[in-house]
Structure 1
Amino acid sequence: MSAIYSNFTGYNRGEIAFNFPSWRSNSGFKSWTTPRVLRPYKNDGFHISRLVLGHSSKVANRADISMALVDERLARGRDLVEPSRILAYDIVQGALVKWRFMVDKSMPDPPTAVLLHGILGSGKNWGTFARRLAQEFPMWQFLLVDLRCHGNSASIKKRGPHTVASTALDVLKLVRQLRITPRVLVGHSFGGKVVLSMVEQAAKPLARPVRVWVLDATPGKVRAGRDGDDHPAELISFLRTLPKEVSSKRKVVNALIQEGFSEDVAQWVVTNLQPTDPSGLPSSSFSWVFDLLGIAEMYQSYEETNLWKVVENLPRGVHVNFLKAERSLHRWALEDLQRIHAAEEAAVDGGGGVEMHVLEDAGHWVHADNPDGLFRILSSSFQGLKA
């Protein structure tokens, strides 16, 4: 059994449907015009609580970013004032994690892992995998984030530039506002560079040892794969030619396939379409949930951002794991692998760590192509607090 917290707005997961600023529930909850921490509601074996959090109007400077214990104001269940929001997110909790409004001040915060998606994805890409982790490691909680311009965070307007660094700063601000201390950071593709940037921007040394997983991404140059592979830059460019509203998901899938993209990628892309009718009634049209202009800028930053200096000069207590998919969408050059292995040897002397892993029988979408293999590899980061 897992618990799920969320600040997703205007989103229907089948358990609770609501639209900000009021809260609406199909489980009999009353509506509130002021966001509150909701008491848990049981449905299909999961405890679910929904909340909306933002950050203070006085935004912390980069040097002031810190990670601390869970805010006890949540534990006491006070009404929350809604300032400007940061990012949409879910928190999936293991069965042994105490509810925040029941936590005693003397109790430590639960160990937390942050899971970040790639370009054109969203936090829900990690939902099934996070619930599996929570079931196996019930003392842990897992923060699933919609990065800027993606998913439900697309409605939260962000100032540019839309870069790897600004995206990482968003996540650091979110964990600071939630007052949690991540022990594990997992980032897929674009998200992999984001977690490295989080290490670069956070206070050094970090508040406690942290394990970082960079899934199918290298710290530096992004190299194209084989001809015929699905290239994100080309996908973004083609999506920008499509209308903002479409009459059918199937038509979009067909258009993508005709353009040369794989059916798997086409089916994944249309998960970013939502009915234009907010009432939830059958709709004759769909609209995109992401901000393609911002995403195009983010992908360009992903290609250009170089974070080798972070990997080669790790703060004490930071352990970075690189995972290469056997059938990666990107090309892992020999010089990249050699440089990672050199960093692996150097990091030991500095009190950090670098490791290289290969996920067999998997393409770029590692958590979908080989979830069992990925689960076995990542499990090493959670073994110490399994029960």
Structure 2
Amino acid sequence: MLSRVFHTRNVFNCYKFIPKPFPLTPSRTAACVANEAETVELAYASYESTSDVENPATPPLIILHGLLGSKNNWNSMSKAIHKKTGRKVISVDARNHGDSRHSSQHTYIHMAHDVMSLLQKLELNKVSVLGHSMGGRTAMVLSLLCSDLISSLVVVDISPIKTSPQIYSMGNLFDALQTVSIRPGIPMSKARKLADEQLKPTISDLNLRNFLITNLIQTNTGAFTWRVNIPALKENFQSHIASFPSNLKGLQFSGPSLFIGGSQSDYIGKDELKDIQEIFPMADLVFIEGAGHWVHSQKPEQFLDVVCKFLQEK
């Protein structure tokens, strides 16, 4: 695997987002759109090969992680998708997450424009996009604002229609993370153990605690902190993250779309397909048995098969 930038000529039409009033009007380029949305520079990892396995004729796949996640969570899956499909895969850190810049603004509109700006920088004029949870909603917004750019769309365990009650409990995680206090200068292994002990009274799920602790980092001074921007996420959660934007009504993405749900999750309902198709007319909805919200990590083989079959057919 090599990390390099794939260059092409890039001109594509997107919608200029104006919160109020409508209608939306086309802008000249993605750069124009991105500048108006006050974008931040996004960190990313590229999975590609110089061998004959890679298929340059297929659009790259952009992967967008969920809330409190990072591109690192998708490392193994990104490699597997690239190997199985021959597509270049680019896994991205959202603003206020991972190695990307922080901002006080955290909305799906801003996150979609961040991705537009990245694609402009990489000179990519056609991509497929896969997003999980928060990343899934970002991917949906991106496809609605910039449909000509998107070859196909994969949304993992999140809905544009309803909001799971479990989403609102996610807000409690910010408070739990903010209460963690670790003395500086100790080894990272010990710091992680202490963080786990402090989170345990509030968060009983060991897998969730381990997931959150992946965000613990040590600064140059030896102090420990969270790499996610907890204050900004907490401030924007109820009004901008927990639900799908309501002011995109009337827009559609008519390209191939696949919604993947976990059978044990309530983030997307089995009865929602008809309503989803009002926004994404070509959408299909499948459920992976035995999976919860983190479908890709709980049932990775089944998830890989479903995603790659869709990408190879569409």
Scaled by the length of structure 2, what TM-score is found? 0.78
How far is the alpha carbon of 1:340 from its aligned partner?
2.0
Q: Does 1:323 align with 2:278?
A: no
More moved, 371-380 vs 266-275: 266-275
Output aligned runs, 1:158-237, within 5 Å. Answer: 158=103, 160-202=104-146, 204=147, 206-207=148-149, 210-225=151-166, 231-237=169-175
Checking the alignment, whether the CA contact within 8 Å between 1:211 and 1:381 is kept in structure 2 is no
The Cα shift of 1:342 comes to 4.7
Does 1 or 2 have the higher relative contact order (CA < 8 Å, sep 6+)? Answer: 2
Cα distance between partner residues in 2 of 1:185 and 1:86: 18
Q: TM-score, normalised by structure 1?
A: 0.65
Distance in 1, matches of 2:168 and 2:90, equals 28
Aligned residue pairs total 284
Q: 2:296 aligns with which of 362, 367, 380?
A: 367
Listed as ranges, the gaps of 5+ residues in structure 1 are 6-36, 38-48, 50-59, 68-83, 100-106
SS in 2 for 1:305: coil
Alignment of 1:1-387 (within 5 A): 2-5=1-4, 63-66=27-30, 86-96=41-51, 111-138=59-86, 140-153=87-100, 156-158=101-103, 160-202=104-146, 204=147, 206-207=148-149, 210-225=151-166, 231-243=169-181, 248-277=191-220, 285-300=223-238, 301-306=240-245, 313-316=251-254, 318-328=255-265, 330-333=266-269, 337-344=270-277, 352-383=281-312
Share of identical aligned residues, percent? 21
Confirm or deny: 8 A CA contact 1:220 1:307 kept in the other structure.
no
Kindly provide the amino acid, as one letter, of the partner of residue 146 in structure 1.
D
Give the C-alpha shift of residue 299 in structure 1. Answer: 3.1
Shift of 1:61: 6.1
**What secondary structure sits across from 1:240 in the alignment?**
helix
Unaligned runs of 5+ in 2: 7-14, 18-26, 32-38
Q: Which amino acid aligns with 2:287?
A: V
Moved beyond 3 Å, runs of 4+: 64-67, 94-99, 107-110, 243-247, 306-310, 330-333
Matched residue type, 1:354: A
Once residues 243 and 170 of structure 1 are traced to their aligned partners in structure 2, the CA distance between those partners, rounded to angstroms, is: 32
Report if aligned partners of 2:108, 2:245 keep a CA contact under 8 Å in 1: no
The one-letter amino acid of 1:303's match is: A
The structure that has the greater radius of gyration is 1
8 Å contact from structure 2 (residues 59, 126) kept in 1:
yes
Check conservation: 1:341, 1:356, Cα contact below 8 A: no
Residue 366 of structure 1 deviates from its aligned partner by 1.4
Aligned-pair Cα RMSD in Å: 3.3
Give the letter aligned to residue 356 of structure 1. L
Alpha-carbon spacing, 1:338–1:98, altered in 2? closer, same or farther (3 Å): closer
Matched residues in 1 for 2:195 and 2:63: separation? 28
Give the conservation status (yes or no) of the 8 Å contact 1:322–1:356. Answer: yes
Q: Tell me how far apart the structure 1 counterparts of residues 114 and 224 of structure 2 sit (CA, whole Å).
A: 28
Q: Is the 8 A contact 2:102 2:229 kept in 1?
A: no
